[in-house]
């Protein structure tokens, strides 16, 4: 080759290197800490592609420029949704003391949130944001992860893993997902699912489960190779090594004791110990109870062992196992015919467990609706006395639903209705419009139909107002005013004759909440609204509460949340 040719090749190579360097400099990730530098010129309207949010487009704004480099230089952001999806900003917590947020979330966590309240809570807490004042990034993240785990939000946990590549406490969230798969005792599904969990994630607990899955799927050579690697990396332990060697057919099981420090070890114990037997108690982890329940390992050999039955009742009441396990045991407790016939008279003389079992069996044998109802509500009282009501609530509801309405005695109608749980969510019910009442009129479609036309809404408002105007005694309620202020906020003209601003003076806004809105504390105000709604669906809130919630959301331009509230609370649903 000629020297001139070599020079040409060298020259091309240098150009290629320079081009690659320039190309690398063009890649931007707004969530990465190294890119949060104020000396960069960032246009407020610029769209940036972020790999941490699954390639969604997100609008950057002046928040990035507002923070000094020294303060935001080392920050990583964790979440699921872009903040602008719900009209939040990265600085949604910037004016809020983290201690107040912790206290509020702690109170919220004790509530069984309604569907609407939970939606608002999730969309607030899991929007990408900077950390609040006086709380570390790791502690704020821990609050989020703990809530997901404690509330079994498996789908959201998987979403969180997809959109956040590395974060503190990652091991905890991975172990939770692995345990959820094992606890269902459907290892085939669990092993299929672990392939997703394992993408780009290295964790010893996860790797151990993957090794077992390879054995389960009869890929023993691959399992042995991965096991050897795990041992070389000193990520294994003696118990696991013994169990895997046994499952690979290399040695006998050398483990002498069942290990229950985590669910994976417990599961391996159950498949490697001959004549496996384990007695759970009140201190046993929930995941182990769940697995034993799913694998039919909860067995009562001696019905005189009341402590074991009490442990099972306790587990069922705390949602660790299926509640049917309790009734399954009750059905098997033996009683003679005379005791069954006189159940209502003798049950109080028996030990509490036997008393409940006796009433339950008498209920099963009864063929009279009135007698069935008497026994059901007697059994309800007995569960309440022992603080075990959670076992009975769903059973009672399902049993009452099976009764024919025309067979229920009139004196029982109201109590039967009170104890039936309605499974149909609010949003599933049909809406019935009434154009003679503003907040029940066809105007409500604007709040729940996506991209509903402004012009069409304006015409509908004018039409509805003509009908209302004919009623000289029409009273504009707090709900009506909430609708009018929301429509005006979005650019719809309100008829001059409706002085809604004067009418709104009849309703007060709590000072503590109004101050949060004045200070722009969007995130914290959203959490306070979640706490106010709590366990109630918003259609059960009083008119004034609905009004001031809507007022505050309008004030902070949180339209998505406002529409969620109005579309849930106001239309007549049947």
For residues 1-23, give the mean pLDDT. 45
For residues 396-412, give the mean pLDDT. 91
Q: Of the given ranges (180-194, 216-230, 261-275), which has the lowest mean pLDDT?
A: 180-194
| Residue 278, pLDDT score | 93
| Residue 30, pLDDT score | 33
pLDDT exceeds 50 at position 74: yes
For residues 449-460, give the mean pLDDT. 93
Q: Of the given ranges (3-17, 417-431, 529-543), which has the lowest mean pLDDT?
A: 3-17
CA 514 and chain centroid, separation: 28
Please give the residue that has the higher pLDDT: either 443 or 1. 443
For 104, the enclosing helix (H) or strand (E) is: helix 98-109
pLDDT grade, residue 64 (50/70/90)? very low
Q: Could you read off the pLDDT of 456-475 as tens digits, one per residue?
A: 999 999 999 999 999 989 99
Please give the residue that has the higher pLDDT: either 52 or 300. 300
Classify burial at 201, counting beta carbons within 10 Å of its beta carbon; exposed 0-12, middle 13-18, buried 19 or more: middle
Going by the DSSP 8-state scheme, the letter that residue 97 receives in this structure is B
Q: Could you read off the pLDDT of 168-186 as tens digits, one per residue?
A: 888 888 888 889 989 988 8
Dist. CA 558–CA 550, nearest whole Å: 9
Domain assignments of the chain as residue spans, ordered by start: 33-168, 173-291, 308-418, 428-573
| Residue 29, pLDDT score | 39
Q: Give DSSP secondary structure letters for 110-136.
A: TS---HHHHHHHHHHHTB--PPPBTS-
| Residue 37, pLDDT score | 36
pLDDT grade, residue 95 (50/70/90)? confident
Tokens describing residue 149 = 């785990």
Q: Could you read off the pLDDT of 310-324 as tens digits, one per residue?
A: 999 999 999 999 999
For residues 535-548, give the mean pLDDT. 90
**Residue whose token pair is 């039955």:** 309
Q: What mean pLDDT, rounded, does the chain reach? A: 84
pLDDT grade, residue 107 (50/70/90)? very high
Q: Could you read off the pLDDT of 292-346 as tens digits, one per residue?
A: 999 999 988 889 999 999 999 999 999 999 999 999 999 999 999 999 999 999 9
For residue 499, which of 480, 516, 518 has the smallest C-alpha distance?
A: 480
| Residue 430, pLDDT score | 75
For residues 509-518, give the mean pLDDT. 93
pLDDT grade, residue 193 (50/70/90)? confident
| Residue 327, pLDDT score | 95
Dist. CA 450–CA 388, nearest whole Å: 45
- Tell me the Ramachandran region of residue 277: left when phi exceeds 0, alpha when psi lies from -120 to 50, beta otherwise: beta
CB burial readout 65-88, b (16+ within 10 A) else e:
bebeeeebeeebbbbbbbbbebbb
> Highest-confidence range of 43-52, 166-175, 220-229, by mean pLDDT?
220-229
The residue ranges of DSSP E strands in 124-264, in sequence order, are none
**Residue whose token pair is 């499974």:** 423
For residues 353-364, give the mean pLDDT. 96
- Tell me the Ramachandran region of residue 87: left when phi exceeds 0, alpha when psi lies from -120 to 50, beta otherwise: left
| Residue 262, pLDDT score | 93
Dist. CA 280–CA 459, nearest whole Å: 66
pLDDT exceeds 90 at position 54: no
| Residue 80, pLDDT score | 94
Q: Could you read off the pLDDT of 556-574 as tens digits, one per residue?
A: 999 999 999 998 888 776 6
| Residue 33, pLDDT score | 35
Tokens describing residue 81 = 């949704």
| Residue 161, pLDDT score | 86
Beta-sheet pairing, 572-573 with 47-49: unpaired
Classify burial at 488, counting beta carbons within 10 Å of its beta carbon; exposed 0-12, middle 13-18, buried 19 or more: middle
Q: At what angle do helices 238-247 and 220-232 cross, to 10 degrees?
A: 160
pLDDT grade, residue 214 (50/70/90)? very high
pLDDT exceeds 90 at position 539: no
For residue 163, which of 102, 81, 219, 235 has the smallest C-alpha distance?
A: 81
| Residue 122, pLDDT score | 96
Q: Of the given ranges (96-100, 163-167, 198-202, 463-467), which has the lowest mean pLDDT?
A: 198-202
For residues 148-176, give the mean pLDDT. 87
Give phi and psi for 127, each to the nearest 5: -85, 140
For residue 254, which of 269, 263, 243 has the smallest C-alpha distance?
A: 243
For residue 460, which of 482, 448, 442, 479 has the smallest C-alpha distance?
A: 442
pLDDT exceeds 60 at position 380: yes
pLDDT grade, residue 50 (50/70/90)? very low
| Residue 198, pLDDT score | 59
Q: Of the given ranges (5-19, 266-280, 368-382, 520-534), which has the lowest mean pLDDT?
A: 5-19
Q: Which residues, including other chains, have CB under 8 Å from residue 348's CB and lie 6 or more apart? A: 355
For residue 313, which of 380, 393, 386, 385 has the smallest C-alpha distance?
A: 386
pLDDT exceeds 80 at position 59: no
% of the chain surpassing 70 pLDDT:
84
pLDDT exceeds 50 at position 43: no
pLDDT exceeds 50 at position 189: yes
Q: In angstroms, how far apart are the furthest CA atoms of the chain?
A: 112
Dist. CA 558–CA 87, nearest whole Å: 6
* 3 state DSSP class of 218: coil
């Amino acid at each position: 080759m000629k020297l001139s040719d070599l020079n040409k090749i060298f020259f091309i190579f240098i150009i290629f290197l320079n081009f690659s360097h320039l190309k690398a400099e063009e890649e931007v990730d707004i969530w990465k800490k190294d890119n949060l530098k104020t000396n960069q010129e960032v246009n407020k309207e610029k769209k940036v592609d972020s790999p941490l949010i699954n390639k969604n487009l997100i609008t950057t704004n002046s928040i990035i420029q507002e923070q000094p480099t020294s303060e935001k230089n080392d920050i990583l952001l964790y979440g699921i949704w872009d903040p602008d999806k719900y009209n939040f900003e990265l600085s949604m917590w910037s004016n809020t003391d983290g201690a107040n947020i912790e206290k509020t979330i702690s109170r919220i966590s004790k509530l069984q949130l309604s569907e609407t309240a939970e939606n608002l809570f999730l969309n607030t807490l899991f929007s990408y944001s900077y950390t609040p004042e006086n709380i570390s990034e790791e502690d704020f993240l821990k609050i989020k992860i703990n809530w997901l785990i404690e509330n079994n939000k498996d789908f959201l946990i998987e979403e969180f893993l997809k959109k956040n590549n590395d974060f503190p406490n990652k091991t905890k969230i991975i172990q939770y997902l692995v345990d959820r798969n094992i606890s269902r005792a459907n290892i085939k599904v669990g092993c299929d699912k672990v392939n997703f969990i394992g993408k780009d994630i290295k964790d010893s607990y996860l790797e151990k489960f993957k090794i077992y899955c390879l054995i389960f799927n009869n890929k023993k050579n691959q399992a042995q190779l991965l096991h050897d690697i795990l041992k070389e990396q000193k990520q294994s332990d003696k118990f696991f090594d013994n169990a895997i060697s046994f499952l690979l057919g290399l040695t006998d099981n050398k483990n002498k004791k069942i290990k229950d420090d985590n669910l994976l070890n417990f599961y391996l114990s159950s498949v490697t110990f001959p004549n496996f037997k384990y007695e759970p108690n009140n201190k046993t982890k929930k995941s182990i109870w769940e697995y034993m329940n799913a694998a039919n390992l909860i067995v009562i050999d001696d019905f005189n062992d009341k402590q074991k039955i009490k442990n099972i009742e306790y587990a069922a009441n705390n949602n660790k196992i299926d509640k049917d396990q309790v009734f399954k045991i009750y059905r098997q407790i033996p009683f003679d015919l005379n005791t069954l016939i006189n159940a209502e008279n003798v049950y109080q003389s028996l030990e509490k467990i036997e008393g409940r079992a006796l009433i339950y069996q008498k209920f099963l044998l009864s063929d009279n609706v009135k007698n069935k109802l008497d026994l059901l509500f007697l059994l309800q009282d007995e569960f309440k006395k022992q603080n075990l009501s959670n076992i009975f609530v769903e059973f009672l509801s399902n049993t009452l639903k099976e009764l024919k309405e025309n067979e229920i005695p009139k004196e029982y109608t109201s109590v039967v209705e009170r104890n039936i749980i309605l499974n149909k969510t609010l949003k599933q019910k049909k809406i019935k419009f009434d154009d003679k009442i503003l907040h029940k009129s066809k105007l409500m479609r604007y709040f729940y139909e996506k991209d509903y036309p402004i012009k069409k809404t304006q015409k509908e408002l004018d039409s509805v107002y003509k009908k209302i105007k004919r009623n000289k005694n029409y009273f504009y309620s707090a709900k009506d005013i909430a609708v009018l202020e929301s429509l005006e906020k979005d650019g719809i003209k309100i008829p001059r004759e409706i002085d809604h601003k004067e009418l709104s003076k009849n309703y007060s806004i709590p000072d503590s909440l109004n101050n949060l809105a004045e200070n722009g504390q969007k995130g914290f105000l959203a959490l306070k609204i979640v706490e106010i709604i709590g366990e109630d669906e918003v259609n059960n809130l009083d008119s004034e509460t609905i009004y001031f919630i809507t007022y505050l959301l309008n004030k902070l331009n949180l339209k998505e949340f406002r529409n969620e509230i109005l579309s849930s609370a106001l239309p007549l649903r049947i």
